Structure 1
């Protein structure tokens, strides 16, 4: 079974207190958004304490063209991807030439040649690395990307697969968009960069813990395209998400998880470690109510949300990093996230100290 050899995440130098972001947003929206005072409570309701931001708050006070924002996305995505990858390579005690495959996940910027090509060129990785660049999976991308990395490693026991997830959500902020969705987005979304190395069976894994891939499943809910995603405008990416997301999760997640686990003769009660993407406070509450697991089983997920905000696809890898570097229970682990589509991504892990 493919195993996780190393994982690293980025704390940006502009990590900012949520209350400072709240006051800043109040100033930005006050003139053209009459409901701003009434809606400021949204910042507190998230329970986010600090936001991982790739730029200082002053940057967001100006109107930026899509071209300006996207160029900044490419620059910062490359810079911090390299930093995260270098940390992974050092932690796994491998040579960069050992990397056989690279999977790049993002939903918040565009690049052609794709970011994986820019990374290979910048780091002078093996020119024959197999490349996969995936755009548009949104919050589901972290779990989906991890599943794809493990599938590649399962097919090739000699593989060393590099997975990189970059989401610079704040660079999609539209300064002159005074819609409710843009305001709510400004209270929740943050920036994150995560990298991990997944190894095939024939590779020596020097990690202190063993986190092995068992299986995965994807599910697309029909006729739910308007639940979450982007509207692409002349000015850039306009966020789209529905207030009905927690209800969809509450209605479906128990059956989705139960039916998936049944394929491995497992039940929800057999899962010891829950590595979930924190879509927000209400999403976490929907998971808790629907799954009915005793105790604070989403504690690590909630901690990441409180300390970083919602970093789209990269967030679940921050949660995985916390399990990998700190503590977990021996037994099965379940990774899960929901994304545009509307869709669900699940990965089953076997975890041993």
Structure 2
């Protein structure tokens, strides 16, 4: 979806704006060393993933220990973990996003929720709408299975709805209880997942309203997508002992790096922009090798990616929720100026690269 395909001068104009965000994590935070210990991990090849240094801590929902070790969780326990975490963290993130605007859940007109780490029917939107007392005519959409890139796919949906309904309030909620997709075995790809992903939820409120100023947040200008179909199996769920286990191919960073210029060049080219014109880069914290590949191929630096690297260090990979955590880090710095331009990038299964152009 693009709001303006022919723009050569970027101004906020009549565009949807991200007016507030919220984030939430489980209360328990663990170092990588603590997690490896709790898993009872002794395999030196697996332990190296927990000792890489790029991730220091993660917030996780872990079960009660048995003899000092995390027990194997049943399918039902994993489903319950996802459900309970979605409601607890989803409510916290939504309330945090509503508070600065003085609004309540009753004010939300459109509600889009994303998740790849669990399946519920009714969907998360229904359970949260009931728990938080949304209006019973709120428009709802649950997007499942798109993976780490899904945050920008969901933002496309909410942006499109608010663009054609000026003044209406849209909510994007990214729910990723990644520990509900952990499997414990001696496979190296399982160790990568268990050492990389954390639990977290992020929320964004979007509306198109002339009274909202740049201080509230960026206008969403345009989107561009790119799917690398020849690598469709490089990130996927598989069944392992009747549980869903996430598989990551070792070549994922290189495939993303080799292709990331394509959607970025198309996105910026439509607006006569170059990479040097972009003030802020808001990127999914997909892992250090993925971040390095994006940096190298786009000519960016660790400074450009400092918010992404900070999220990776303190939370791990939060899947679709992570890009809003990165944006929160940028907001906290207090350096954004009126007229600044930003690009957001999310990457995930497909292999898919999603991009968005923002302006303040």
Instruction: Give the structure 2 partner of residue 16 of structure 1.
Output: 30
What is the correspondence of 1:217-236 to structure 2 with a 5 Å cutoff? 217-233=224-240, 235-236=242-243
Shift of 1:235: 2.6
What is the correspondence of 1:210-289 to structure 2 with a 5 Å cutoff? 210-233=217-240, 235-289=242-296
Instruction: Give the structure 2 partner of residue 33 of structure 1.
Output: none
Shift of 1:54: 2.5
TM normalised by structure 2 equals 0.90
| Secondary structure of 2:255's aligned partner | helix
> What are the Cα deviations for residues 67-115 of structure 1, in whole angstroms up to 9, with x where unaligned?
2210221122112211211121112222332210000000001110101
Unaligned runs of 5+ in 2: 1-14
Shift of 1:205: 3.3
Query: Equivalent of 2:309, from 290, 302, 309?
Result: 302
Distance 1:63 1:235 in 2: 13
Is this contact kept in 1: 2:20–2:217, CA < 8 A? no
Distance 1:213 1:254 in 2: 20
Whether 2:188 is the aligned partner of 1:180: answer: yes
What is the correspondence of 1:1-353 to structure 2 with a 5 Å cutoff? 1-25=15-39, 27=40, 29-30=41-42, 36-45=43-52, 47-55=54-62, 58=65, 61-175=70-184, 177-201=185-209, 204-205=211-212, 208-233=215-240, 235-293=242-300, 296-330=303-337, 331-351=340-360
| Superposition RMSD in Å | 1.9
Unaligned runs of 5+ in 1: 31-35
Shift of 1:143: 1.9
TM normalised by structure 1 equals 0.92
Shift of 1:320: 1.4
| Secondary structure of 1:187's aligned partner | helix
Shift of 1:137: 1.1
Shift of 1:280: 0.6
> What are the Cα deviations for residues 212-268 of structure 1, in whole angstroms up to 9, with x where unaligned?
110111221122221112114553211111110111122111232112210111111
> What are the Cα deviations for residues 104-140 of structure 1, in whole angstroms up to 9, with x where unaligned?
0000011101010111111111111111100011110
Distance 1:46 1:264 in 2: 39
